[in-house]
């Protein structure tokens, strides 16, 4: 078989959303799986609804997710230009082919595609006018996902509007022919257009591509398809929030596809190896934000320290968390490494680590009531402060030993020191490991904070 050529053909009429990203991804995966070519084609013939800003969002989002295109805007290719707004002469050429073969005609200023078959006039109750019906045979589509689909076109349809603008069906098919597209992988919302497209391919004497219509993505709660307006629908939002692109990509793969062995988290090379169109589900997939967050956490957890610290630094930078004060590099690193196993996403980090970088942290009143309301926590804190003065801060184990000795000396449990100790140095009763917390803060901060807390508590 000749080389697979697939295309992702977005219309830049809105922000890039989960559904478009998944369509792009399935095309990209199929191209990579088969050693084929992934084409990016911009369907921007609708001048009023398209914008340059949306176009850049598409390029940025695809690039961020690692879906590099082999042909298309910016990279070129043998079948360009790859923006429909620049392909008018191609459409004129193909239009002339239809006109010359008697398959296009003018009526009411528009240009119509002519179906073959016996014609008769009928009154259409719904549209309240007489229309010409054509006795036509069904277009047969052996869809790689939907299976056998038959649909009959029985009315001619417009291919160039009276304002001279070519219609989606026409340019879409012309470009698939001109760009030698072998497989059309797109959203199920286009299944109903496919019979028109098949008629056009045949009229041009061109081979009909193999179709694969991907089921819809349902919104998280309630019925209905996920739209760009639904919460969590926009790709750039995840980028802004510091999600890892590899986690998002892995999650998107599972919206309608599965490797068949219950595995979920998988390296992209493995997904490429296993992905195939018949493996795509026929039923709709439901978007699940929690699952995405979980996937992101799983990827973050396994990042080597250096990379995690770099990602965290980028996120602090972008989100403005460094604006007031830029911490010492090695201190920042220690704080991030300590927090890595505790957070679900990078976006939690600035809040989670705030008290490391500023002495002005609030004290959680609930935690305070609970911890300071029983036993003699102030006495314990004074004992702790004394022990901290000569403690070894070089490792968690040394600090743990210090607390154990302290507790057994006074016939108490380590919790009697740990709970007020944590509250005093961080203002909260949750956080990273206690010994790690002390080690990273260091003797000076710990001592200063405990003393200040004792003075005010």
- Kindly list the catalytic residues: 228
DSSP conformation letters of 210-247 = EEEEEPPEE-SSSSSB--TTSTT-BHHHHHHTT--HHH
DSSP conformation letters of 303-334 = S-HHHHHHHHHHHHHHHTTTSS----HHHHHH
Contact 335, 356 (CB under 8 A): yes
* Distance in Å, CB of 362 to ligand GLU, minimum: 49
* Distance in Å, CB of 28 to ligand GLU, minimum: 14
Between 184 and 300, CB nearer to ligand GLU: 184
* Distance in Å, CB of 41 to ligand GLU, minimum: 8
Between 11 and 319, CB nearer to ligand GLU: 11
Between 11 and 210, CB nearer to ligand GLU: 11
Tokens of 35: 């050693």
Between 33 and 190, CB nearer to ligand GLU: 190
Contact 417, 380 (CB under 8 A): yes
* Distance in Å, CB of 108 to ligand GLU, minimum: 26
* Distance in Å, CB of 167 to ligand GLU, minimum: 12
Residue ranges binding ligand GLU (CB under 6 A): 9-11, 43, 172, 184, 186, 190
DSSP strand pairing (183-187 vs 210-214): parallel
Helix (H, G, I), strand (E, B) or coil at 424: helix
The answer for residues whose C-beta is within 8 angstroms of residue 327's C-beta and 6 or more apart is 335, 356, 357
Buried b (16+ CB within 10 A) or exposed e, 416-430: bbbbbbbbbbbbbbe
Rounded Cα gap, residues 18 and 234, in angstroms: 6
Between 184 and 309, CB nearer to ligand GLU: 184
Beta bridge partners of 8: 40
């Amino acid at each position: 078989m000749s080389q697979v050529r697939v295309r992702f053909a977005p219309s830049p009429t809105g922000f890039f959303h989960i559904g478009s990203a998944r369509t792009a991804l399935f095309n990209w995966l199929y191209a990579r799986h088969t050693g084929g070519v992934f084409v990016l084609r911009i369907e921007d013939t609708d001048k009023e609804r398209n914008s340059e800003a949306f176009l850049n969002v598409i390029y940025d989002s695809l690039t961020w997710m690692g879906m590099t295109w082999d042909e298309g805007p910016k990279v070129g290719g043998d079948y360009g230009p790859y923006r429909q707004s620049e392909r008018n002469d191609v459409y004129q050429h193909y239009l002339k082919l239809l006109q010359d073969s008697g398959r296009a005609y003018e009526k009411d200023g528009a240009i119509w595609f002519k179906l073959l078959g016996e014609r008769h006039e009928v009154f259409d109750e719904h549209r309240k006018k007489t229309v010409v019906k054509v006795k036509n045979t069904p277009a047969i589509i052996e869809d790689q996902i939907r299976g056998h689909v038959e649909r009959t076109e029985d009315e001619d349809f417009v291919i160039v509007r009276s304002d001279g603008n070519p219609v989606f069906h026409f340019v879409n098919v012309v470009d698939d022919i001109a760009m030698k597209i072998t497989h059309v992988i797109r959203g199920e919302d286009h299944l109903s257009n496919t019979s028109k497209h098949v008629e056009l391919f045949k009229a041009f004497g061109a081979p009909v591509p193999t179709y694969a219509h991907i089921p819809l993505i349902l919104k998280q709660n309630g019925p209905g398809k996920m739209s760009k307006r639904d919460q969590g629908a926009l790709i750039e939002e995840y980028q802004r929030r510091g999600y890892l692109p590899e986690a998002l990509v892995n999650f998107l793969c599972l919206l309608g596809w599965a490797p068949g062995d219950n595995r979920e988290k998988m390296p992209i090379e493995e997904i490429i190896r296993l992905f195939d169109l018949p493996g795509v589900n026929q039923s709709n997939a439901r978007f699940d934000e929690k699952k995405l967050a979980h996937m992101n956490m799983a990827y973050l957890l396994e990042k080597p320290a250096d990379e995690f610290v770099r990602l965290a630094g980028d996120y602090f930078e972008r989100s403005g968390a460094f604006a007031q004060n830029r911490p010492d590099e090695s201190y920042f690193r220690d704080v991030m490494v300590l927090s890595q196993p505790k957070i679900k996403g990078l976006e939690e980090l600035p809040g989670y680590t705030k008290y490391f970088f500023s002495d002005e942290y609030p004290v959680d009143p609930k935690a305070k009531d609970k911890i300071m309301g029983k036993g003699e926590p102030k006495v314990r804190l004074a004992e702790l402060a004394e022990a901290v003065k000569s403690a070894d801060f070089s490792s968690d184990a040394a600090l743990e030993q210090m607390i154990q000795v302290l507790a057994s000396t006074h016939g108490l449990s380590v919790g009697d020191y740990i709970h007020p100790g944590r509250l005093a140095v961080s203002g909260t009763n949750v956080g990273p490991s206690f010994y790690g917390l002390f080690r990273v803060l260091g003797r000076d901060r710990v001592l200063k904070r405990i003393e200040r807390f004792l003075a005010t508590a």
